[in-house]
């Protein structure tokens, strides 16, 4: 029966350490990106409420309540949703993304009106404010990184 030498065990541990140091951060980033993508995709009722308000009244709502948006969305990864009239955008504050340094950061969905005024589209991007910190670009869905 052949024994394993100390050098072989140490080599194996070094290889496992290198793989873990690469794999764990990649997994964490992928997990957070998936949760942010889920948030953007699940905001349909919120964005529809703002768009319907604008198409019905011809103006943007003054605040989230006027558009029929409750600040507590019930979404798992969204703490609050706020409407900014002067910038015609929704601001989301994240929570429970699985990594404390990205919780509480902002993601923005900006409303754009088509030229004919009949359609509202939404661009997602990190916030342009620094308090709280904007969500890092690497966590945004591909459509938001343009």
Residue 11 neighbours by CB under 8 Å, 6+ apart: none
Question: What are the domain boundaries of the chain?
Answer: 6-145
CATH tag, 6-145: 3.30.700.10
SS3 57: helix
- How far is C-alpha 12 from the chain's CA centre? 38
- For the segment 104-122, what is each residue's pLDDT rounded down to a tens digit? 778 888 888 888 888 888 8
Question: H-type helices in the chain, by residue range?
Answer: 6-42, 44-57
Its sign, for the CA torsion 72, 73, 77, 83, is: negative
Render each residue's pLDDT in the chain as its tens digit; 146 residues.
788 899 999 999 999 999 999 999 899 888 888 888 888 888 888 888 888 998 899 888 888 788 877 666 667 778 777 788 777 787 777 777 766 667 777 888 888 888 888 888 888 887 776 656 677 888 888 877 76
């Amino acid at each position: 029966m052949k024994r394993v030498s100390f050098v072989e065990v140490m080599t194996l541990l070094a290889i496992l350490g290198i793989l873990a140091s690469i794999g764990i951060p990649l997994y964490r980033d992928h997990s957070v990106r998936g949760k942010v993508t889920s948030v953007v995709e699940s905001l349909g009722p919120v964005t529809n409420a703002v768009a319907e308000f604008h198409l019905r009244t011809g103006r943007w709502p003054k605040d989230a309540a006027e558009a029929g948006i409750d600040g507590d969305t019930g979404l798992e990864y969204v703490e609050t949703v706020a409407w900014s009239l002067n910038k015609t955008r929704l601001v989301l504050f994240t929570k429970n993304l699985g990594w404390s340094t990205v919780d509480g950061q902002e993601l923005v969905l900006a409303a754009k009106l088509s030229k004919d005024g009949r359609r509202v589209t939404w661009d997602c991007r990190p916030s342009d404010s620094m308090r709280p910190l904007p969500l890092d670009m690497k966590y945004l869905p591909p459509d938001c990184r343009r």
